[in-house]
Structure 1
Amino acid sequence: MKSIPISLTCLLALAGCQVTPSSLPQAEPAPAAACYFPATDARALETSVDILTEWGFTLTSTDTTLGLISASRERELHGYYDPYDNAYGYGSGMRMFGGLGIGGGSSIGFGGGIGFGGGIGQQPVEVERVSIFVNDAHIRISRDIRRFDHMGDLRESYSASNDDFCQRFQTAFEQSVPTAGSPL
């Protein structure tokens, strides 16, 4: 009988312990009800693009056959405090890496590195992304916000499809749509 190496046995035992998720990921918090509203205007995509560009968004991609618009805007966060800055023992623009190893026989190895200045002159940034889906005479808005620290590391990310943003968009959309009797 052929022996099975202990590492393969452990690997097989651990593979049997994996559990598949019981549900798919969901947006937390769930999008607000105001983020889904009727749009009877045939030019809903063009109107949505106009509103987003007026609000300072830059189009990242569009697909008119699907009725999808994606846009984003970015702003610097002056004075942004990162609550996780010192969570792992480093922060304030300093990164460290090092190690120590002892080998067989009489060999000893030591390595180290340190970096200063990462992020000097850079500001923390907030990136706001919006996706608009127009289909079956309805508009669906999805929005998220991501915050990056001065090193460019992602520090916060959350769904921002809230009542405030969606109601402001819906109001701007309804004001931009011409009435039935008015000339274009």
Structure 2
Amino acid sequence: MKPRQIKSRPMMLVLLLALAGCQTTPDRLPRAEPAPAPSCYFPTQGVAGEEVLRQSVALLEQWEFELDNTDTALGLISASRERELIGYYDPYDGDYGSGVRVFGGLGLGLGHRSSIGLGLGFGGGIGQRPVESERVSVLVHNDHVRVSRDIRRFDHLRDLRESRSASDDDFCRRFQSALPAFDTGSRL
């Protein structure tokens, strides 16, 4: 039996090396996909950067965003809003059936006294709804405004299920036209 073991070890080593060679590194760094729309980058049209930032803050608050961070020295604003998703179907929720995570166990202890224990607990998610989190950042730099937006969806257990760049043409055009400095007559 020993000669067979000796022959299988080199074969196992060759197989492991072959599998290790199948691993590759990414050929590029992660990037926003889809790419931001060209309308998400526009000139300030001679309006002072501080004024664009002030109007952007007012607009985001009007659209029920909450400010997360502001740095006027950098010309950056970050805001977010969250809403419940009623009736949202999570295609990945099949792993948990009804959405209840169950933890439990059976223990048997033999010591000074014999005991048998049964533990059963229910995880989070009961009575919670899936939510959508929308984040918007506005950067005013070198007489240009850059708007970026992303949307993330969380299931009822607050596990991230979807994430995407949402810097689309529609949102950026509505944002730009709603700023008083860039008013073209249309409002949200």
Q: What are the within-5 Å matches in structure 2 for residues 51-90 of structure 1?
A: 51-86=59-94, 88=95, 90=96
Q: Report the counterpart of residue 182 of structure 1 in structure 2.
A: none
Q: In the alignment, is residue 28 of structure 1 matched against residue 36 of structure 2? A: no
Deviation at 1:118, TM superposition (A): 2.3
Q: CA RMSD for the aligned pairs?
A: 3.0
Per the alignment, do residues 170 and 178 of structure 1 end up closer, same or farther by CA in structure 2, a change over 3 Å counting? closer
Scaled by the length of structure 1, the TM-score of the pair is 0.74
Which letter does structure 1 place at the counterpart of 2:129? Q
* Paired residue type of 1:29: P
The structure richer in helix per residue is: 2
Can you give the 5+ residue segments of structure 1 that lack an aligned partner in the other structure? 1-5, 100-111, 180-184
Query: Which residue of the partner structure matches residue 151 of structure 1?
Result: 157
- Runs of 4+ in structure 1 off by over 2 angstroms are 13-22, 96-99, 112-118
Query: What is the CA-CA distance between 1:17 and the residue it aligns to?
Result: 6.8
Per the TM alignment, residue 20 of structure 1 is displaced from its structure 2 partner at its CA by 3.5
Quickly say closer, same or farther: Cα 1:171–1:113, change in 2 above 3 A. farther
Structure 2 Cα separation of the partners of residues 148 and 113 of structure 1: 29
1:38–1:114 CA distance, 2 compared to 1 (3 A): farther
Q: 1:163 and 1:68 mapped to 2: Cα distance?
A: 21
Which residue pairs with 2:3 in the alignment? none
- Do the aligned partners of residues 178 and 119 (structure 1) sit closer, same or farther apart at CA in structure 2, a change above 3 Å counting? closer
Amino acid at match of 1:177: A
For 1:153 and 1:121, locate their aligned partners in 2 and report how far apart those are by CA, in whole Å. Answer: 15
The 1:163/1:113 distance shift into structure 2, 3 A limit, reads farther
SS of 1:94's partner is coil
User: Cα distance 1:113–1:34, how it changes in 2: closer, same or farther (>3 A)?
Assistant: farther
How many pairs are equivalent? Answer: 157
- Structure 2's unaligned 5+ residue stretches are 1-8, 106-117, 184-188
Question: Equivalents in 2 of 1:94, 1:70: separation in Å?
Answer: 35
Identity %: 66
